[in-house]
Amino acid sequence: MNKTVIKVLYWATTGLIAVGNLFGAYAYTSQSPQVLEGLAHLGYPGYLALILGPAKGLSAIALLYPKFPRLKEWAYAGITFNVLGAGLSHLLAKDPNFATPFIFLVLVAVSYITWRKLEAEKV
């Protein structure tokens, strides 16, 4: 695959993930009524928003900051666990929008794979 295509795919998917996580960080940390209702619907306590909110914000920063590749690896792992947990929670709660987290997971996978390809070319 062409290096330019890889870069475009990387930045497009990583940008969407970062924006989504920054928005989520704000919504969760501010304990938006929609977030609290969503957590309650899934059977989770409201204080979980205060744990996930900062984690979402920090993961977005880690994805965008190029200096610490190991931190970026951990951010990808954390996002993956979060999205898998969200998808399974929605699925088990019989939520009709259960597929949304799994679509987000595809973006995470494309971002991660393209990032690794770009990193491999640096060596």
How far apart are alpha carbons 80 and 74 in whole angstroms? 10
Rounded CA-CA distance 48/68 in Å is 27
pTM over 0.95: no
76 close to 70: Cβ distance less than 8 angstroms: no
Burial class (CB in 10 A: 0-12, 13-18, 19+), 80: middle
pLDDT by 10s per residue, the chain, length 123: 899 999 999 999 999 999 999 999 999 999 999 999 999 999 999 999 999 999 999 999 999 998 999 999 999 999 999 999 999 999 999 999 899 999 999 999 999 999 999 999 887
